[in-house]
């Protein structure tokens, strides 16, 4: 791609990787290459008494990972000619002008599609995948049959397991408000190989 691609917060995002090709039902007409941009950092933590996912350490260090799925899309500019006197229509607001000529492309930009976050606890060899989703206009219900959501989750899992090869367990909360019901979300987790490991958590062994 010879045109310039505008990226955001280049000092914040430490990696960018291609994920998979997806067809989105309500946005793009053609299949799109989904990428992930990543931020990783180390942070101190102190566990509370009401942790959703049980961690053996009360305090210590953990690694934090944020990921934004995105596609590269063209940046288009439009030229609008303004009317001297806005046209009046009885059943709609007055237009102030109209587009003149054809849209002009000025490079490309990264269009964010969703969000994902995770932590790695080295002493427990556990990755806590807190959330991983496409925004509402890019996913469809039920999640268990949405192959785009499944591929996004699996791509993030693969990145995390490559980043933290000593991990032996993946864990995640048992519900997320992005789903239409708790049953739908848990059905989605089960389709990815997760099962209950605590009162409010699902997990699976990876080694």
CA distance 71 to 159: 18
pLDDT of the chain, 207 residues: tens digit per residue: 444 445 555 689 999 999 999 998 777 778 999 999 999 999 999 988 678 898 898 899 999 999 999 999 876 555 565 666 655 555 555 566 565 656 555 676 899 999 999 999 999 999 999 999 999 989 988 998 999 999 999 999 999 999 999 999 999 999 999 999 999 999 999 999 999 999 999 999 997
Phi, psi of 156 (to 5 degrees): -70, -40
Domain boundaries, the chain: 5-73+106-205
Taking residue 63's Cβ as centre, other Cβ atoms within 10 Å add up to 17
Write down the pLDDT at residue 1: 41
Instruction: Please name which of 119, 162, 147 lies closest in space to residue 17, comparing C-alpha atoms.
Output: 162
Task: Decide yes or no: CATH 1.10.20 for domain 5-73+106-205.
Answer: no
156 three-class SS: helix
Write down the pLDDT at residue 2: 42
Write down the pLDDT at residue 85: 64
Cα separation of the two ends of the chain? 39
Say what the pTM is: 0.81
Pairing of strands 114-121, 126-134: antiparallel
């Amino acid at each position: 791609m010879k045109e310039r691609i505008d990226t955001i917060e280049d000092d914040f995002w430490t990696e960018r990787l291609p994920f998979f090709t997806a067809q989105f039902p309500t946005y793009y007409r053609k299949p799109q290459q989904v990428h992930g941009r990543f931020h990783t950092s180390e942070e101190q933590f102190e566990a509370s008494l009401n942790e959703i996912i049980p961690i053996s350490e009360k305090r210590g260090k953990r690694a934090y990972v944020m990921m934004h799925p995105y596609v590269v899309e063209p940046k288009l500019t439009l030229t609008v000619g303004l009317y001297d006197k806005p046209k009046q229509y009885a059943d709609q607001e007055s237009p102030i002008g109209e587009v003149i000529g054809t849209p002009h492309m000025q490079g490309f930009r990264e269009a964010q599609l969703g969000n994902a976050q995770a932590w790695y606890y080295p002493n427990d060899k556990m990755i806590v995948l807190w959330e991983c989703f496409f925004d509402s206009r890019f996913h469809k219900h039920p999640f268990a049959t949405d192959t785009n959501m499944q591929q996004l989750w699996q791509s993030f899992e693969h990145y995390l397991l490559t980043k933290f090869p000593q991990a032996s367990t993946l864990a995640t909360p048992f519900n997320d408000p992005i789903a239409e019901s708790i049953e739908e979300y848990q059905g989605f987790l089960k389709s990815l190989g997760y099962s209950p490991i605590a009162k409010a958590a699902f997990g699976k062994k990876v080694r």
